């Protein structure tokens, strides 16, 4: 594509068309990634779609500024994460979440197996609350690690961080989540 | 004591981060210690729940209308993707135009200044080089004169530092003459007060006195006898 653009030096139209085509190629899989990142922060499908749309539009507007096109996915992920956080701040959803979760915290210890527990709405709410309580730096690596089972190296590439940093942040995030959720898992047989 | 040691290991083991060489030791301890065995199982269950809970939070696909809606919004964007040079082109053009206007204005002003004969130079005779003796003139013959000029310069600078003197506007072409006059006044060779006094005298209005002429009738008889017949 760049070769095509380079064959018409000085032609703005061909350059723009080339960029548009290059962006078009990314429309196949990247919106899904942006959507999932936003969903991991917002826990609401409609809002996650809005944020993913906004992130893709911004990516489209600023695509020409991206020098290394290989970093597009990481760029998009960080943009979607930031937009999702901004939306949460704007709406004050965190307080609502905390209120809802606190209400159900004490009397919702599951006696069934792990499958039932994970499937329950209450558990989902508890996980969301624990995830929201994480610092932003740890939250993004936790969300990315959960998307399609990305390994540490892939998360590091997407988050634009060294692999060691991702490892330590993931460990701390998981530990914190486990501490927050272990009361729910008490007396729950595995399998 | 050993159970405390394995507590941290259990957390790492549950997350899959425990180094491979430690795993057999931990498992051996868990086989012997019922409490640690239970704790390890619980840690693994919690970890499993956490991972699956987070995965379920981020699972899902955008709706089928997502792509259509996104393409429509992209199409509604005001313009296509723009190359960086296109973004900066208008700014650069404006900057160049402004620079050209400024350059023309400055050039025009300089030309106007040079061509205008009435423009005067602001010269402070004290701070300006009196006599303006160029280096080429400072030959051995003029050594005494140069030394005097240097002394005058120093004293003039000292005076300028202590006294405030008005600037004199000297028309072009009369600068050297004015400097010579100023130097002469400052060196005492010419008395400035006398020059001013002379100027004041010359500018004084004339004192006109009326001449009284006696009438003819009042002439003395002796005068009348002298008249020719």
Q: What is the pLDDT of residue B20?
A: 86
**Is A188 contained in some domain?**
yes
Q: Do A118 and A87 belong to one domain?
A: no
Q: What is the pLDDT of residue A50?
A: 92
Domain range for A41 is: 26-91
pLDDT top residue among B150 and A77 = A77
Residues A28 and A22: beta-carbon distance below 8 Å: no
Mean pLDDT, range B37-41, rounded to an integer: 88
Q: Do A180 and A116 belong to one domain?
A: yes
**Is A101 contained in some domain?**
no
Mean pLDDT, range A159-187, rounded to an integer: 86
Q: Please list every residue in chain A whose beta carbon sits closer than 8 Å to the beta carbon of residue B61.
A: 32, 35
**Is B218 contained in some domain?**
no
The Cα–Cα gap between A129 and A43 comes to: 10
Percent of chain B exceeding pLDDT 70 equals: 71
Q: Does position B46 have pLDDT exceeding 50, yes or no?
A: yes
The Cα–Cα gap between A21 and A2 comes to: 10
Boundary residue ending a domain (B42, B58, B74): B58
The Cα–Cα gap between B14 and B35 comes to: 16
Q: What is the pLDDT of residue A35?
A: 92
pLDDT top residue among A2 and A72 = A72
Q: pLDDT band at residue A82, thresholds of 50, 70 and 90?
A: very high
pTM above 0.90, yes or no: no
Q: Cβ–Cβ of B48/A20 closer than 8 Å?
A: no
Q: Do A130 and A186 belong to one domain?
A: yes
Q: What is the pLDDT of residues A25-72, one digit of tens each?
A: 777 778 888 999 999 999 889 999 999 999 998 988 888 877 777 788
Q: What is the pLDDT of residue A135?
A: 93
Question: Would you mind telling me the total number of residues written for chain B in this entry?
Answer: 229
Q: What is the pLDDT of residue A93?
A: 55
**What would the two tokens of residue B30 be?**
């868990």
The Cα–Cα gap between A51 and A57 comes to: 10
Mean pLDDT, range B71-86, rounded to an integer: 67
Mean pLDDT, range A156-161, rounded to an integer: 90
Q: Cβ–Cβ of A127/B63 closer than 8 Å?
A: no
The Cα–Cα gap between A91 and A159 comes to: 25
Please, what sign has the CA dihedral across residues B20, B21, B24, B29? negative
* Shortest Cα–Cα distance, B39 to chain A (Å): 11
**Is B81 contained in some domain?**
no
**Is B161 contained in some domain?**
yes
To test the contact with chain B by mutation, choose from A131, A142, A146, A147 the residue with the greatest count of B C-beta atoms within 10 A, namely: A146
Q: Cβ–Cβ of A124/B61 closer than 8 Å?
A: no
Calculate ∠ Cα A138-A144-A147, nearest 5°.
Answer: 145
Which of B45, B52, B59 has the CB atom closest to A188's CB atom?
B45
Q: What is the pLDDT of residue B125?
A: 46
Taking Cα atoms as reference points, which of A59, A62, A68 lies closest to residue A27?
A59
Q: What's chain B's Rg over C-alpha atoms?
A: 54
Kindly report which listed range (A133-147, A148-162, B188-202) carries the lowest average pLDDT score: B188-202
What is the number of domains present in chain A?
Answer: 2
Q: Does position B135 have pLDDT exceeding 60, yes or no?
A: no
The Cα–Cα gap between A142 and B55 comes to: 10
Q: Tell me, what CATH number does A34's domain have? A: 1.10.1740.10
Q: What is the pLDDT of residues A90-133, one digit of tens each?
A: 877 555 555 555 444 444 555 556 666 666 777 888 888 899 99
**DSSP letters of chain B?**
-HHHHHHHHHHHHHHT-S-TTTHHHHHHHHHH-HHHHHHHHHHHHHHHHHHHHHHHHH-----THHHHHHHHHHHHSSS----HHHHHHHHHHHHHHHHHHHHHHHHHHHHHHHH-TTPPEEE-TTTS-GGG--GGG--GGGHHHHHHHHHHHHHHHHHHHHS----EEE-TT-HHHHHHHHHHHHHTSS-HHHHHHHHHHHHSPP---PPP---GGG--HHHHHHS--
Percent of chain B exceeding pLDDT 90 equals: 4
Please, what sign has the CA dihedral across residues B137, B142, B144, B149? negative
Most confident of A64-68, A142-146, B141-145: A142-146
The Cα–Cα gap between B24 and B18 comes to: 11
pLDDT top residue among B205 and B142 = B205
Q: What is the pLDDT of residues B162-194, one digit of tens each?
A: 555 556 677 777 888 888 888 888 888 877 777
pLDDT top residue among B161 and B54 = B54
Complex prediction ipTM: 0.72
Q: Do A67 and A123 belong to one domain?
A: no
Taking Cα atoms as reference points, which of A121, A115, A134, A111 lies closest to residue A184?
A111
Q: What is the pLDDT of residue B116?
A: 55
Q: Tell me, what CATH number does A148's domain have? A: 1.10.10.10
Residues A49 and A80: beta-carbon distance below 8 Å: no
Residues B54 and B47: beta-carbon distance below 8 Å: no
Q: What is the pLDDT of residue A151?
A: 86
Helix (H, G, I), strand (E, B) or coil at A114: helix
Q: Do A71 and A131 belong to one domain?
A: no
Q: Do A74 and A115 belong to one domain?
A: no
Q: Do A140 and A189 belong to one domain?
A: yes
**Is B209 contained in some domain?**
no
Q: Do A118 and A190 belong to one domain?
A: yes
**Is B31 contained in some domain?**
yes
Q: What is the pLDDT of residue B159?
A: 65
The Cα–Cα gap between A41 and A94 comes to: 10
To test the contact with chain B by mutation, choose from A8, A15, A30, A143 the residue with the greatest count of B C-beta atoms within 10 A, namely: A15
Q: Does position A185 have pLDDT exceeding 80, yes or no?
A: no
Q: pLDDT band at residue A138, thresholds of 50, 70 and 90?
A: very high
**Is B88 contained in some domain?**
no
Q: What is the pLDDT of residue A113?
A: 62
pLDDT top residue among A93 and B59 = B59
Domain range for B20 is: 2-58
**Is B102 contained in some domain?**
no
Kindly report which listed range (A3-12, B49-58, B124-133, B211-220) carries the lowest average pLDDT score: A3-12
What is the number of domains present in chain B?
Answer: 2
Q: Cβ–Cβ of A127/B50 closer than 8 Å?
A: yes
Q: What is the pLDDT of residue A180?
A: 87
Q: What is the pLDDT of residue B150?
A: 77
**Is B86 contained in some domain?**
no
Cα maximum dimension of chain A: 70
The Cα–Cα gap between B69 and A7 comes to: 33
Q: Do A33 and A64 belong to one domain?
A: yes
The Cα–Cα gap between B7 and B13 comes to: 10
Q: Please list every residue in chain B whose beta carbon sits closer than 8 Å to the beta carbon of residue A57.
A: 70, 73-74, 77
Helix (H, G, I), strand (E, B) or coil at A174: helix
C-alpha dihedral, B45 to B47 to B51 to B57, nearest 10°? 80
* Contact partners, residue A61, CB within 8 Å, separation at least 6: B77, B81
Q: Cβ–Cβ of B83/A174 closer than 8 Å?
A: no
Q: Do A191 and A148 belong to one domain?
A: yes
Mean pLDDT, range B35-56, rounded to an integer: 87
Q: What is the pLDDT of residue A126?
A: 86
Q: Do A187 and A117 belong to one domain?
A: yes
Most confident of A132-146, B79-93, B106-120, B123-137: A132-146
Q: What's chain A's Rg over C-alpha atoms?
A: 20
């Amino acid at each position: 594509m760049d070769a095509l653009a380079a064959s018409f030096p000085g032609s703005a139209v061909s350059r723009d068309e080339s960029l548009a085509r290059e962006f078009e190629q990314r429309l196949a899989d990247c919106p899904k990634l942006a959507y999932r990142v936003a969903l991991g922060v917002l826990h609401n499908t409609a809002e996650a779609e809005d944020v993913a749309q906004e992130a893709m539009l911004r990516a489209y507007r600023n695509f020409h500024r991206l020098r290394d096109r290989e970093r597009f996915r990481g760029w998009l992920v960080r943009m979607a994460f930031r937009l999702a956080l901004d939306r949460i701040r704007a709406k004050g959803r965190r307080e609502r979440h905390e209120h809802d979760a606190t209400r159900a915290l004490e009397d919702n210890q599951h006696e069934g197996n792990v499958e039932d527990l994970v499937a329950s709405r209450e558990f989902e709410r508890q996980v969301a609350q624990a995830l929201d309580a994480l610092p932003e730096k740890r939250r993004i690596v936790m969300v990315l690690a959960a998307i399609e089972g990305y390994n540490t190296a892939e998360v590091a590439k997407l988050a634009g961080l060294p692999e060691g940093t991702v490892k330590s942040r993931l460990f701390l995030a998981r530990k914190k989540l486990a501490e927050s959720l272990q009361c729910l898992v008490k007396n729950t047989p595995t399998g | 004591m050993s159970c405390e040691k394995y507590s941290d290991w259990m957390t790492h083991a549950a997350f899959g981060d425990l180094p491979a060489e430690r795993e057999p030791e931990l498992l051996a301890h868990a086989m012997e210690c019922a409490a640690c065995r239970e704790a390890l199982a619980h840690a693994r269950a919690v970890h499993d729940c956490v991972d699956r809970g987070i995965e379920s939070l981020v699972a899902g696909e955008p709706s089928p209308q997502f792509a259509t809606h996104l393409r429509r919004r992209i199409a509604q964007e005001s313009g296509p993707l723009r190359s960086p040079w296109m973004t900066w082109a208008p700014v650069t053009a404006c900057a160049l135009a402004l620079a050209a206007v400024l350059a023309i204005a400055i050039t025009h002003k300089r030309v106007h200044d040079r061509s205008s004969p009435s423009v005067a130079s602001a010269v402070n005779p004290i701070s300006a080089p009196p006599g303006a003796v160029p280096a080429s003139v400072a030959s051995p013959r003029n050594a005494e004169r140069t030394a005097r000029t240097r002394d005058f310069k120093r004293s003039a600078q000292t005076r300028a530092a202590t006294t405030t003197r008005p600037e004199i506007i000297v028309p072009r072409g009369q600068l050297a003459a004015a400097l010579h006059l100023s130097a002469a006044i400052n060196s005492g060779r010419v008395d400035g007060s006398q020059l001013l006094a002379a100027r004041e005298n010359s500018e004084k209005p004339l004192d006109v006195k009326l001449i009284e002429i006696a009438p003819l009738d009042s002439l003395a008889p002796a005068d009348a006898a002298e008249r020719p017949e």
